[in-house]
Structure 1
Amino acid sequence: MTRKVRTRIAPSPTGFLHLGTARTALFSWAFARHHGGDFILRIEDTDVARSTQEAVDQIIAAMKWLQLDYDEGPFFQMQRLNRYREVIAKMLAEGTAYHCYCTPQELDAMREAQRTRGEKPRYDGRWRPEPGKTLPAAPSDVPPVVRFRNPLSGDVTWNDLVKGTITISNRELDDLIIARPDGTPTYNFCVVVDDWDMQISHVIRGDDHVNNTPRQINILRALGAELPEYGHVPMILGPDGDKLSKRHGAVSVMQYEEAGYLPDAMVNYLSRLGWSHGDDELFSRAQLVSWFDGAHLAKSPAQWDAAKLNWVNARYLKGTDDALLASLVSAQLSRRGFVVGSAENLVRLCALFKDRCATTGELADWLGMYFGDVQPSADDITTHVTDLVRPALHTLRGKFVEIDWSKAAISAAIKETISAHGIKMPQLAHAVRVLVCGRAQTPSIDAVLELFPRETVLSRLQAA
């Protein structure tokens, strides 16, 4: 690198942080960390009507949850309006921008006439100053916009980090509005000034921005600014091949935190959507940073796979320290209205049940039977709590009153009971599970019962 690497993520606070934006943030963060550079958070809040503080808070919370630490920011565009106006005034003075007095009605008529002639609708440059051209008198009752004086000839070419060389003719670009009639700057202009002032070296963003890039390059050149390198990553598609949206499930990052996914697992999964390192599927953040040099970014769209995310998260869940897992599950249980008692017991519960779960939310669902009442289904009662098994259940309950409350003693009592009544282990174990746990399938029944208070087990077996 001939200049210090500085990347940025610049979400708009008009909604929660989307998974696609989170992936772009991850790529930008990993690229900066790989090259020993800086990662900047910028909030593009010039859409005042739709921007909210709640969205800002959610964006920052999502970045914190994903542990995508930024070196500078957050910067807010609305706090930089004077800077944008200063640059626009300079461009007007130098002739790289000009005032346009076209009314909305005139612009509509212009575009309609172009369509009628079979032409691409575009601004026709009627207020663009040119040598020897006489402009009409500026109307006093029309507040002007400011347009960028885009080059009329030549091409814009850049070597995209993802897509390779891209060339777009300036003849395809009209004179972009860079300031609205009320003086507020537009998106494409603010981005340029921000990237210039913040010395952004690499812009990694979605490929829906490809059409913005030649315009932004031309403005940067007009300002005499050094150009960043651009990389446009394809979008994330839903399982049906359409753009990922709410109908495919959760699209907000924080919904996954609430559902019980682990940040390291989400980072692992997101990084594989459009990037690869050989056949590696599971890797640490440190490995990601070590490998993410900007190469191996896919040119084709990635497809969201909820089952694959669950597989990744389950692997991380199994490898998580039980005490840390217990603290996460405690929060999940609290959301469900349960009061968690002994932290030590919760650690043991997590250790016993985590191999069956993909998320801490699923783990909390399993453990709810320890902290609240259970309601076995009528079908499970009919299937497993039969007249054949009921006498054995009464015998077992009697034994449970007397024994030491340990896994070994519980196991011995169960074995003695099935021997005395001439039934099979699954017959008794399933019936106990249904009554005590509210379900017919659990880990080893003696290990499960040991972690219940004896009184709870006795009470629930009384229903037999």
Structure 2
Amino acid sequence: MTDNVRVRFAPSPTGPLHMGGVRTALFNYLYAKKHNGTFVLRIEDTDQTRYVANAEQYIIDSLEWCNIPFDEGPGKNEKFGPYRQSERKELYKQYADELLTKGWAYYAFDTAEELDAHRKDHEEKGKTFIYNWHNREKLQNSLALSEEEVQAKIAAGEKYVVRFKTPQDETLVMQDEIRGTISVNTNTLDDKVLFKSDGMPTYHLANIVDDHLMEITHVIRGEEWLPSLPLHTLLYKAFEWKAPKFAHLPLILKPVGKGKLSKRDGDKLGFPVFPLEYKNEETGEVSRGYKEDGYFADAFINMLALLGWNPGTEREMFSLNELTKAFGLKRVSKSGAKFSPEKTKWFNQQYLQLKSNTLLANLFVPMLAEKGIEREIGYIEKVVSLIKERATFVADFWELGGFFFENPTEFDEKAVKKQWKEDTPAIMEELATVIENIEDFSSKNIEALVKEWIAAKEIGMGKVMQPLRLSLVGALKGPHLFDIIEMIGKEATIQRIQHAVSNL
């Protein structure tokens, strides 16, 4: 076993990667990077019945978008390859055989029907059927049958599984990096299936063998694997291998009600639960993704990091680099973390404010192009600088600043009722003449001259400013009024005032 930290993320390619899976990958990545270790991706595709063709690529694309790429995995630095369990299946039989030889496992020939009958019989008596120490010597397996009978069954091609022989009357004391000491009485455990007669291992055997062969030092995985910890600990003991350190992460809980966050919650409450959009190739159903919904990858990752981990301070904003420095398993919580769609939007808004105007302008360009609008990037950057503080997503820019590119064609009815009085057209026409005669067309200068004119006319500021904003924007919204005038220029300003006068 290596001294270097080696962690792995081992998803099953059975569909899109849920954000709970992304968080597991993130915590593994952060732990590896903090300790100058290696982050391994392994694809656990032993369950071929649930395999989905495009799921593996989706997992890889998601990690790339989140900026937490793996160091070692399918097609990359294949030091301990292959990294897909289906390509390693020849490996596992020798380990199942080793356990049989050492007396840590046995052949079981019970059919599904026989086991079902036992279950029903127990249920009728108000008990639960568990295949383990108290009944294994009475069932169809190599512990109850003679060596000759076992060999004859195998030779006849009878279907069998290899089961783990869980020790009796022992107390297992295990350490979890997050949960501390865990004790389990081995009499409560069942004899899990490790290997099937079709030559495929179950998750438990493949997982332990791969972690050992890939020299994994820390297994950081979801809480749902906690019930498997006793078996995995016993398997390390049976093989006489040094076990890695285990850490079981808390669940991500739904925003409303009890239980684990699911795709259904997202569909119902209108938020994505996957990092990228996913198309089910069989049904054609498309699931939303954070990327396509307009979230920044760094905002998404910052939000995920704080679901179940806290830095020990009030601070909430962390770059990936800062997360790496601050992260540790000691501050991962034992209890589930409630997901908040609103908080996720808040993170995106914070990150949007930190992005450069150039970057944001370039993201705005395709939206403008769709509307047939072309402008110099410098102009778009300036617009972005004026409107971005009110935006949560780049998609909000048009709603917040479309008037910088197009004359308004409609006017907010409520605002018109309130602000457009009988004497407004005359005031606006005179103001248009004032603006027409301004030479230095900078925001500051326009403001000074217009306010001078208002003072000389002795009319209230509101009588001019609100109708003027309405004329230029079509509503009572937008950034500093004189910044808008400077940006759209003299000609458009006068055109818009005249349009409002003739239409309102």
- Range of TM-score over shorter length: 0.7 to 0.9
After superposition, the C-alpha distances for 1:426-447 in whole angstroms (9 at most, x for unaligned) are 4444444444434322111121
Of all paired residues, the percent bearing the same amino acid is 32
- In the alignment, which residue of structure 2 is the partner of 1:244? 261
CA distance in 1, matches of 2:210, 2:2: 21
CA contact under 8 A between 2:312 and 2:331: conserved in structure 1? no
Residues 277 and 296, structure 1, Cα contact 8 Å, conserved in 2: yes
Distance across 2 between alignment mates of 1:442 and 1:15: 44
Instruction: Kindly report the root-mean-square deviation, in angstroms, between the aligned alpha carbons of the 2 structures.
Output: 3.2
Q: Which residue of 2 aligns with 1:353?
A: 387
User: Is the counterpart of residue 451 in structure 1 residue 473 in structure 2?
Assistant: no
CA gap of 1:320–1:120, structure 2 versus 1, over 3 A, is: same
2-side partners of 1:418 and 1:455: how far apart?
A: 21
111-120 or 241-250: which moved more?
241-250
Deviates more, 1:100-109 or 1:130-139: 130-139
State whether residues 338 and 372 of structure 1, in contact with CA within 8 Å, keep that contact through their aligned partners in structure 2: no
**Matching residue of 2:300:** 266
Q: Say if 1:259 and 1:361, in contact at 8 Å, map to a contact too.
A: no
Aligned mates of 1:132, 1:361 — CA distance in 2: 70
1:373-396 CA-partner distances (Å, limit 9, x unpaired) = 755444344444454433334444
DSSP 3-state at the match of 1:274: coil
Deviations 1:168-211 (A, max 9, x none): 22222222223345333322333222212211111112211101
Q: CA deviation at 1:106?
A: 1.7
Confirm whether residue 130 of structure 1 aligns to residue 138 of structure 2.
no
Q: How does 1:62-461 map to 2 (within 5 A)?
A: 62-74=62-74, 75-92=83-100, 94-123=102-131, 124-125=135-136, 126-130=139-143, 138=153, 140=156, 142-242=158-258, 243-245=260-262, 246=266, 247-248=268-269, 249-254=271-276, 255-279=289-313, 280-330=315-365, 333=367, 339=373, 341-363=375-397, 365-371=399-405, 375-397=410-432, 403=438, 405-412=441-448, 414-415=450-451, 418=454, 423-452=459-488, 457=493, 459-461=495-497
Residue 161 of structure 1 aligns with an amino acid whose one-letter code is E
Contact 2:33 2:324 in 1 (8 A): yes
Worse overlay, 164-173 or 437-446: 437-446
Q: Structure 2 unaligned runs (5+)?
A: 75-82, 277-288
1:338–1:371: 8 Å Cα contact kept in structure 2?
no
Q: Distance in 1 between matches of 2:90 and 2:411?
A: 66
> Matched residue pairs, number?
463
Secondary structure, counterpart of 1:253 in structure 2: coil
**Residue identity matched to 1:100:** A
1:11–1:44 contact (8 Å) kept in structure 2: yes
Q: 1:433 to 1:244 in 2, by over 3 A?
A: farther
Deviations along 1:335-379, one digit per CA (max 9) or x if unpaired, are: 975655322222222222222223333345424444567554443
Separation (CA, whole Å) in 2 of partners of 1:39 and 1:277:
22
Structure 2 vs 1, CA of residues 17 and 131 (structure 1 numbering), >3 Å: closer, same or farther? closer
TM-score (norm: length of structure 1): 0.86
Q: 2:89·2:199 contact (CA, 8 Å) conserved in 1?
A: no
- The separation in 2 between residues aligned to 1:223 and 1:160, in whole angstroms, is 21
Deviations 1:251-307 (A, max 9, x none): 112332333333333333222222222223233333322222322221222222333
Measured in 2, the distance between the counterparts of 1:454 and 1:70 equals 55
Q: CA deviation at 1:160?
A: 0.7
In the aligned structure 2, how far is the partner of 1:70 from the partner of 1:229?
Answer: 20
- Take 2:469 and 2:356, find their aligned partners in 1: how far apart are those partners? 27
Q: Partner residue of 2:279?
A: none
On the 8 A contact 1:15/1:55 being kept in 2, the answer is yes
User: Do the aligned partners of residues 417 and 93 (structure 1) sit closer, same or farther apart at CA in structure 2, a change above 3 Å counting?
Assistant: farther
Unaligned residue ranges in structure 1 (runs of 5+): none
Per the normalisation by structure 2, the TM-score is 0.80
Question: Which protein shows a greater Rg?
Answer: 2
Mapped contact 2:407–2:472 kept (Cα < 8 A): no
